[in-house]
Structure 1
Amino acid sequence: MYSFEAMCHEKGFSCIAGVDEAGRGPLAGPVVSAAVILRPDYDLPGLNDSKKLSESRRKKLFDHIPSQCLAMGIGIVSENRIDEINILRASLESMVLAVNNLSTVPDFLLIDGKFTLDLPLAQQAIVGGDGKSASIAAASVLAKVTRDHIMERLDQEYPGYGLARHKGYPTKDHREAIARMGVLPVHRLSFRGVREFVR
């Protein structure tokens, strides 16, 4: 999973950040991105796309990633901002925030997906990058677990919707809770499954 980083090093780049987001599909909560610059000698056994890992494995990696990276940054864009500019633009905005929150400025970005970022840095978008690049995989774990923690806190604030369980995704239970109890301040009002219940 280090081939993309190796290619960047061969081209003369020395500080490579992987960037990924979590939370494009949910009906509630923010979209969260992470940027990670791994140490050259990083040791993260089992590192992979966060979607392919068990929750316990993600949490274990989440705890170990800070000691295995030179820098990490998180970018969070709220549900209100998502409604304002749409989820794609909000996802890209959160990625830019994550990169800007790195304590070390990278000289190359590896970005999961099809789109590059509006930043004055050399970069490459990689479809399925979270399963092809170690840096992006680490970012995917950080973004996913960070967002999960946010949704667990929101579940305590708004009980009865199951936010800690489904993390805001449009499960049957979540859709039924919206229909039964109404729309929350943390719901994305522009999303189908929510907007029908906005009064």
Structure 2
Amino acid sequence: MPDLEHEQQFNGPVIGIDEAGRGPWAGPVTVTAIWLCPSAYDELPADIDDSKKIKPSRRTSLAVLMMAAPHLHHTISIDVAQIDRHGILKATFAGMVAAASAVTEKLERAGLPAPVHALVDGNLLPPDMPLPATALVRGDSRSLSIAAASIIAKAARDEIMQALDTMHPCYGWASNMGYGTKAHQAGIEQFGLTPHHRRSFKPIRRHLNADAD
């Protein structure tokens, strides 16, 4: 289970950053940065964990709790156009930088010190990160701040995909969240692509090339 060991190594505010949706064939990638208020550490729910390990209904309720004061967060949604233009990694990095900068501004507006460090899920860091940062592999299972960010980012993206599913109900997005499941593949074969499909992704490019042939 994640804990606060990494956060408590620093003398000052620490933010956690994570994303949701790098792998799907359709829809945005969402990025959340969050500062968990130390005075409320004892009030954090005991079941905060990697978002993938939490049932959707509980994930939503946890996200609501952690988005409330005294914690501060910011979530960015990177649309398909940006993903296709810059690539998924650069687009995700841009979201991380923007989310970290936004939380920094919120801390300053609240009269609190700027964050001294960011904990980022994964093994890579944005090259233009606006503050010192550490990449933590499986960070959403090690750091409570990253786990909180993962829950909020995942809940936000799920809500977007469920809304897109009502507009394009033939791909199973409400359940597969844009991943390349059999139902999603069948929808593409039968109904073609939507503006929300990531044309920079190989499976989607293959479909485009097959249509061109």
TM-score band (shorter)? over 0.9
- In 2, the alpha carbon distance for the partners of 1:119 and 1:107 equals 12
The residue aligned with 1:91 is 92
Higher helix share: 2
Normalised by the size of structure 2, how large is the TM-score? Answer: 0.87
Say which of 119, 123, 129 aligns to 1:114. 123
Letter in 2 for 1:75: I
Aligned twin of 2:9: 7
Task: Give TM-score scaled by structure 1 length.
Answer: 0.93
Q: Distance in 1 between matches of 2:181 and 2:95?
A: 24
Q: Is the 8 A contact 1:75 1:96 kept in 2?
A: no
- The answer to whether the Cα contact below 8 Å between 1:21 and 1:143 also exists between their aligned partners in 2 is yes
Q: Percent of counterpart pairs with the same letter?
A: 39
Matched, 1:59 2:60: yes
| CA-based RMSD | 1.3
* Distance (whole Å) between structure 2 residues aligned to residue 196 and residue 178 of structure 1: 12
Closer, same or farther: CA 115–22 of 1 in aligned 2, 3 Å: same
| 2:196 maps to 1:186 | yes
**How big is the shift at 1:191?**
1.1
Whether the aligned pair in 2 keeps the contact of 1:37 and 1:69 (CA below 8 Å) is no
Specify the alignment match of 1:48 in structure 2.
49
Secondary structure of the 1:19 match is strand
Of 36-45 and 172-181, the range deviating more from structure 2:
36-45
Distance 2:136 2:15 in 1: 13
Q: Which runs of 5+ in 2 are unaligned?
A: 108-113
**Which consecutive unaligned segments of at least 5 residues does structure 1 have?**
none
Partner of residue 138 from structure 1, selected from 121, 145, 148: 148
Question: For the residues of structure 1 that align with 2:132 and 2:171, how far apart are their CA atoms?
Answer: 42
Q: Conserved in 2, the CA contact under 8 Å of 1:116 and 1:125?
A: yes
What CA distance in whole angstroms lies between the structure 2 residues aligned with 1:91 and 1:69? 27
1: CA distance between counterparts of 2:98 and 2:155?
A: 17
